[in-house]
Structure 1
Amino acid sequence: MLWRTIRTMDVMMHSSCFLLPKLHQPANKPVMNYALVVLNQQLPRFMPRLWAQANLRICADGGANRIFDEMFHMTNDEDEKSTRNRYVPEIIEGDMDSIRPEVKLFYSSQLCVLVTGALGGRFDHEAANINVLYLFSDMRIVLLSDDCLIRLLPKTHHHELYIESSVEGPHCGLFPVGAPSTSTTTTGLKWNLRG
């Protein structure tokens, strides 16, 4: 008598529901999460739909140019700037040899990097982390701890800070980094600075 072992395999589901206008997950089936990777080729006509369905959006290098240039033409938006502000990838990765400088600048200005664990502990580590703010002053980076929030306000811009009083305060401190400040003016503080 010959015995055969029947091997059982896990079932791998496949669906193209990400092409539907509204993502439909079949009942009693695992939820599918989608990561969208955009390369440097013409975008498909259903790109806005894919963008909406994705949990994570990644541009590989010049793929960021495609999102920047082509998404406006695929939507019914009247304003190109608001379209660009709405379609911002979570990650742009690559050697950056094919992304145009103005596209790189636009997307980096849309991002705010939140860093925890940078404050407290050894002072030399804390000072080095604050120095990173200065080194990357073209980016919005916020260092956070339970009782402190630090951000660099580069002199290349006018700044407006909106305080969330339910989670921030009651203290606010401003100090110059790298050079003295002779023209800082504030409003809304208990003791305002007047240049």
Structure 2
Amino acid sequence: MEVMRHVSTFLRPPPLPQAADGPAPSYALVVLNQRLPRFAPDLWSHAKLRIFADGGANRVYDGMPKFFPEQDPLEVRRRYKPDVIRGDLDSIRPEVKEFYSNLGVKVDDVSYDQDTTDLHKCIAFICDFIPEVDKSNLCILVAGALGGRFDHEAGNLNVLFKFSNIRIVLLSDDCLIQLLPKTHCHEIHIQSSAEGPHCGLIPVGAPSVSTTTTGLRWDLTNAGMSFGGLMSTSNMVREERITVRSDSDLLWTISIKKKA
């Protein structure tokens, strides 16, 4: 079975050396309508494509200048402008929409589609925007994906399964979540200065009959996991290389450390 490698280099400021065993990931950033994580400027610096999902525009407009209190807020807002704003456009404030429109930012109203979330609409845009040859190295970072209403969080988790062929990382101040598809074995390389030690493996889509891990404090060996049964919550990373093999799609989550 093919191995999929995961590494959270986006949690550290660029520039970073390219990994010796492969090309660096190509990052896209989606900002949702929740509080910006404290490392939002680092996420922005890594990304080659940046999209605000509707009210996410308000969050960047209001929140990004707070990361640079010594700088002119207007200049910060001009510097952190997206490539596109996309969604139902029922949350973005009129003055925020006008500000970015005046900077030449495309504002894409897709309110005609009420069957998908704003995050789904943004991921679909990225998939259409990125050439197929580049998708194997694509990683989509989603800021503000956790917190707030639970139905919104559940919708964001659903997007991971809908686009299971794309690497998508949901981020908050406290943790990250990503899908580990059953089609691959997984190597997770821990950035110990930025993430851990608490972690978990959650069988959300379907029960797992057999999951095996290495590198965790409480490793699993052909273990079954399900809601109502065993789940690997409150586990801890023991090594800087974690491996996961499962007969079911799993959610991987790990804590993000506070900066000193």
**TM-score, normalisation: structure 1:** 0.51
| Pairing 1:22–2:14 present | yes
Provide closer, same or farther for how the CA distance between residues 18 and 103 of structure 1 changes in structure 2, counting only shifts above 3 A.
Answer: same
SS of residue in 2 equivalent to 1:72: helix
SS of residue in 2 equivalent to 1:14: strand
Task: Give the structure 2 partner of residue 66 of structure 1.
Answer: 59
- Give the superposition deviation at 1:72: 0.4
For structure 2, the 5+ residue unaligned runs are: 107-260
Q: Which has the higher contact order (CA 8 A, sep 6+)?
A: 2
SS of residue in 1 equivalent to 2:101: helix
Provide closer, same or farther for how the CA distance between residues 53 and 77 of structure 1 changes in structure 2, counting only shifts above 3 A.
Answer: farther
SS of residue in 1 equivalent to 2:71: coil
**Could you tell me which amino acid in structure 2 is paired with residue 87 of structure 1?**
Y
**Percentage identity across paired residues of the two chains:** 55
Among 58, 71, 78, the residue aligned to 2:71: 78
Among 28, 35, 38, the residue aligned to 2:31: 38
Structure having the larger proportion of residues in strand: 2
Matched pairs, number = 105
SS of residue in 2 equivalent to 1:78: coil
RMSD: 1.5
Question: Per-residue displacement from partner, 1:69-111 (whole Å, max 9, x unpaired)?
Answer: 0000012542011000000011110010000000000001111
For structure 1, the 5+ residue unaligned runs are: 1-8, 114-195
Matched-pair contact (CA < 8 Å) for 1:37–1:59: yes
Structure with bigger gyration radius: 1
Provide closer, same or farther for how the CA distance between residues 43 and 88 of structure 1 changes in structure 2, counting only shifts above 3 A.
Answer: same
Among 64, 67, 80, the residue aligned to 1:87: 80
Q: Counterparts of 2:60 and 2:66 in 1: how far apart (Å)? A: 10
SS of residue in 2 equivalent to 1:13: strand
Task: Give the structure 2 partner of residue 139 of structure 1.
Answer: none
Runs of 4+ in 1 over 6 A off after TM superposition: none
Matched-pair contact (CA < 8 Å) for 2:32–2:53: yes
Superposition map of 1:1-16 within 5 A: 9-16=1-8
Question: Per-residue displacement from partner, 1:20-66 (whole Å, max 9, x unpaired)?
Answer: 11242312312201111100000000001101111111110000000
Q: Counterparts of 2:23 and 2:40 in 1: how far apart (Å)? A: 24
SS of residue in 2 equivalent to 1:102: helix
Q: Say which is worse superposed, 29-38 or 94-103, in terms of deviation.
A: 29-38
**Could you tell me which amino acid in structure 2 is paired with residue 11 of structure 1?**
V
**Could you tell me which amino acid in structure 2 is paired with residue 36 of structure 1?**
L
Matched-pair contact (CA < 8 Å) for 2:32–2:54: yes
Matched-pair contact (CA < 8 Å) for 2:84–2:105: no
Task: Give the structure 1 partner of residue 48 of structure 2.
Answer: 55
